[in-house]
Structures are given as structure tokens and as C-alpha cells.
Amino acid sequence: MNYELVIGLETHVELSTESKIFCSCGGHSAANEPNDCVCPACSGMPGMLPVMNKKVVELAVTAGLMLNCEISRYTTFDKKNYYYPDLPCAYQITQLNHPICTNGTVHLKTSKGERDVRIKQIHMEEDAGKLVHSGNFSYVDFNRTSVPLIEIVTQPDFRSAEEVVTYLSKLKSMFRSGGISECEEGAMRCDVNISVRPEGSEEFGVRTEIKNMSSFEAIEKAINYEAQRHIDALEYETEELVQETRRFDDASGKTFAMRNKETEADYRYFPDANLMPIIIDDEWLEEIKKNKPVAIDDKADKYREEGISEKEIDMILQSQKIGTLLDETIALGCNPKDTAAWILTDCAGILRKDGKTMEDLSVTPEKLSSIIKMVESGSINRNAGKKILIAVVESNVDPVEYCKAQGLDKKVDTAAIGAVLDSVLAANEQAVADYKGGKVKAFQALFGACMRELKGAGDPQMIKEALEEKLK
Ligand code: ADP
Ligand code: MG
Ligand code: ZN
């Protein structure tokens, strides 16, 4: 019999905020040593009260808008109770009854065609700490406790591992380019729910949940292994399928049972009376909408129209930093396609040589555009531009001053240009007469002759103006 794969995802994304969700400790990345970023509130000291971080709400709403969700105007927090050493309060603050976003969609394009995956909800919650096991001891690091997360829950709409990975890559691009999350290693974690059913059947099969996956490659392997295990169980009665939580072991490429799936009742959820309901009024929602970054599909279309290649578009959408530098440099009047090449080929190459990544790039749009314009206008050639760029990337010099100091501009004195123009005009009497007689086209011929005579020296704009002046 043929089976159809059914998958639903619960994806946890760590938000890029400066502080934790309910206290003023620095976010996860601010920590250097274990327990660097810990205060009485996030380490669960008795009587400490949580205070909501407004930015978390704004990022969660922005994520919801990106995923076409309905935004709840009334949203509340609940306590999810369980005991574990990395959870100092013995409950996690999360959202059960009134999550911040519901009913969204994500549009996917895969090799099998296009489809929409439905988002059931997005809720805000705090992360737990980390246990570190070493020899006979276990240590607990609370740096990550109360780091803000959003959890994005889909309907069971995926039908293949390819769709899952396409979805996750899209979330990653959206969230990175939109400043929601850097989605770096471990900051985006997925629980993968899987079942299979005979093709054509409407009913869902028994599902298992593979917990805490972060690499796309492992997710794909885990899905394929688990799907086959389900199919074997149904087809050959190799084992009885039960609803349970499993973990994926990368070394063996297999999944193993961890525990029976908890039900909601196991967690004794109840409303968190320490946190007021959050009301999102029209004014606040409008403000968040106004600041919402352009959707990546729209951005990609725009770059495509500007002649930027698919590969470059992918790279641009992976990083808010690159996207901003590109957009701002283009806004200063540079050609989009050239600018993309200057950033993604030239800057990237210089950084790579120094053992750095694009995230280390600190060139400003002003400096970059000044180099690009010098090249575009012909006042320096591309090689000279590249030399200046290296000095800007490595030592943050001023491009114009550096260019002069290094003698990289083709030295053209205006008197020499004037002499060339005079000789060209003298040699083209007919064209001059035509132009003066109203034949505008003759100007191009004269201008072309000047450019040829000057062999690429000088700024074309300046030459054009000088020529116009002389023809008056
Ligand atoms: P729970 O409350 O047990 O976590 P949810 O209804 O929240 O269950 O669903 C959790 C995830 O499991 C969702 O992403 C959902 O799409 C997915 N899911 C539910 N039923 C199935 C199924 N039969 N097969 C695959 N995924 C499923
Ligand atoms: Mg769930
Ligand atoms: Zn704290």
C-alpha cells in the first residue's frame, strides 16, 4: 500500500531582544561565562515578580504579521508546571488560553509545486536554562532562563521532508531579514510531529513527536527514518505504534522513545496572576505594522527586477545587515546589480581572506556608494575601486582621501581636457554646425569623439558639461 506522510511542526525561535522576557538581564548572547546573565527574578528567587518586556510583544506581533496571522487584541500568560533542575520556578511562563497570534499561512514553493501551510498559532514564552554534565557532576547554567521565545505551531499540513525544510528556511530568512531573530545555531529548535496514513485516507494516523531538532539535515534524516518506522509498523506489524515523544540520534540515524506523550492535564496549566493581560489597541498595532519590514517575497521580487541573481538574493535575504547595506547604498544612487556584486563578491572576498564573515562587515553605505560612484563615473577604474574598498573594509579609511593620497584617480587636469575638446571641435566642423543648427543628435557624436580621444580619462559628467559649455 502507498502511504502519505503527515507532519506538523512546533518551532521555537529565540528573539533578538536586548533583555530577557521578564527581567532586565541581558539576552542570551550577552553572556560570556555560565550564570553571567542572572538576577533574582530569572533564577526563581521566592517573591520575585515578572515584568513584561514590551519589545517581545512587538517582535511576536511582527512575526505574526509576516505569517499572515490574526493578531489577538487580548493576550494572557499561563504557568506550565513541571519540575526539572533547569527550571528554577518549577513552572514555565507560556501562553495557553490566549496566544498572541492565530490562524496564519505560509506559502511554500517546492520541487513538487506550491502550497499554503496553515499556522495554528504563535505564542510567547520563556526559555529554560541549560544543564551541563561533567564527570560525576551536573551543573546548571541559568543564562538562558527567561530568554524570550516565540513558538510557531503549524497545522499538520506538511507532506514531505522537503516541504518541512523549505518552510524552516523561509522562516529563517524572514526572521533574520526582519530583525526577529538571528536564528543562529540552537536559536531555532523544532519539535517534529509525524504520522502516516494510507494514501487517499482522510483520517490521521498515530503520531509521534521528535523533540528539539535544530539542524535541517538532521530533521530531514529523522523524518525519513521515522516515516519508514511507521510504515513498517503498519504494513508488517513490526511493532505497535503509540503516541510518544522520541529523540533522534545523529550517530545511528535512528529515533528512540523518550517518554509517553504528556497531555495538557499533566502540566496543570493555570493563568499567571503575576502578569496583567496585554491589550493591543489599534494605535499600537498600527505602529507595529508601520515598522514591519517588507515581506521577503516582495523584497525578492524587487531585487529580481533589478537584475540581481537568485543566488545573490538568497544571500541578501539571509542577513538583515547585508540587506540594509544594499538597500541604503542603492538609495544613495548606486546601480543595484553592481552594488550587490560589490558587497557579495568584493566585500565578502576581502573578509574571507582575513578569516572573517559578512557579519563582521562595518563599511557604511556612504563610503561604499562613494567608491561605486567613482568607478561608475569613470573617474577611477574598477581595480582602483577594489584597492580603496580593501582599505575601507580593513582600516575604515575615507575613500576619497585615500584615493587621492594613493594617486589612484586618473590624473586629468582640466586644461588638458579643454585642449582635447578644442581639437575635437576643430576636427568636426560639420557636426558642430549641425548641433548649432538644432540637430541635438550631433552632440552625442561629438561627445563620443571626445571620450575616444581622452581614452577613458576624466569624469564623463564633467566632460559632458565642459563640452556643452564650449558649444555655447
Ligand atoms: P499537543 O497539544 O499534543 O501538543 P497540538 O494539537 O498542539 O497537540 O499539535 C501539536 C503539533 O502536532 C501541531 O503542529 C500539529 O499540527 C501536529 N499534529 C497533530 N496531529 C498530528 C498528526 N496526526 N500527524 C502529524 N502531526 C500532527
Ligand atoms: Mg503542543
Ligand atoms: Zn534576570
Higher pLDDT, 137 or 177: 137
Is there an atom of ligand 1 within 6 Å of 11 CB? no
Is there an atom of ligand 1 within 6 Å of 156 CB? yes
What is the per-residue pLDDT for 458? 67
What is the per-residue pLDDT for 318? 81
Q: Name the residue ranges covered by the structural domains of the chain.
A: 3-279, 294-405, 414-471
Look at strands 130-134 and 78-81 and give their pairing. Answer: unpaired
226: cell is: 521515522
Of the chain, the percentage scoring pLDDT greater than 90 comes to 69
Mean pLDDT calculated for residue range 325-347: 94
- List the one residue out of 169, 160, 174, 173 whose CA is nearest residue 111: 160
Higher pLDDT, 130 or 418: 130
Alpha-carbon distances, residue 272 vs 77, 96, 268 (angstroms): 6, 11, 12
pLDDT digits (tens, 9 = 90+) for 293-312: 887 778 888 899 999 998 89
pLDDT digits (tens, 9 = 90+) for 435-459: 988 888 889 889 888 888 876 666 6
Q: pLDDT confidence of 417, banded at 50, 70, 90?
A: confident
Q: pLDDT confidence of 262, banded at 50, 70, 90?
A: confident
411: cell is: 590624473
Is there an atom of ligand 1 within 6 Å of 96 CB? no
What is the per-residue pLDDT for 405? 86
Atom of ligand 1 nearest to the CA of 209: 12
What is the per-residue pLDDT for 412? 56
Q: pLDDT confidence of 406, banded at 50, 70, 90?
A: confident
CATH code: domain 414-471 is: 1.10.10.410
What is the per-residue pLDDT for 293? 80
Question: How close is the Cα of 123 to the center of ligand 3, in Å?
Answer: 21
Question: How close is the Cα of 468 to the center of ligand 1, in Å?
Answer: 73
Beta carbons of 102 and 120 less than 8 angstroms apart? yes
Q: Which residues contact 3 (CB under 8 A, 6 or more apart)?
A: 196, 197, 198, 199, 227, 230, 231, 234
Q: CA 294 to CA 313: how far, in whole Å?
A: 14
What is the per-residue pLDDT for 465? 80
For the ranges 146-155, 311-320, 357-366, which has the lowest average pLDDT? 311-320
pTM of model > 0.75: no
Is there an atom of ligand 1 within 6 Å of 227 CB? no
- CA torsion sign, 110 to 114 to 115 to 117? positive
The one-letter amino acid at 471: L
Mean pLDDT calculated for residue range 425-432: 90
The pick from 151, 193, 226 for probing ligand 1's pocket by mutation, whose C-beta has the most ligand atoms within 8 angstroms, reads 193
Q: pLDDT confidence of 205, banded at 50, 70, 90?
A: very high
- Judged against a pLDDT cut of 80, whether residue 357 lies above it is answered with yes
159: cell is: 507532506
> Burial of 410 by CB count in 10 Å (0-12 exposed, 13-18 middle, 19+ buried)?
middle
What is the per-residue pLDDT for 216? 94
Question: How close is the Cα of 209 to the center of ligand 2, in Å?
Answer: 10
Nearest CA, atom 7, ligand 1: 153
- Judged against a pLDDT cut of 60, whether residue 181 lies above it is answered with yes
Q: Average model confidence (pLDDT) for the chain?
A: 91
pLDDT digits (tens, 9 = 90+) for 216-242: 999 999 999 999 999 999 999 889 999
Q: Max Cα separation, the chain?
A: 97
What is the per-residue pLDDT for 246? 96
Packing angle between helix 161-177 and helix 296-305, nearest 10 degrees? 80
Beta carbons of 399 and 388 less than 8 angstroms apart? yes
Higher pLDDT, 446 or 76: 76
Nearest CA, atom 15, ligand 1: 8
Question: How close is the Cα of 182 to the center of ligand 1, in Å?
Answer: 27
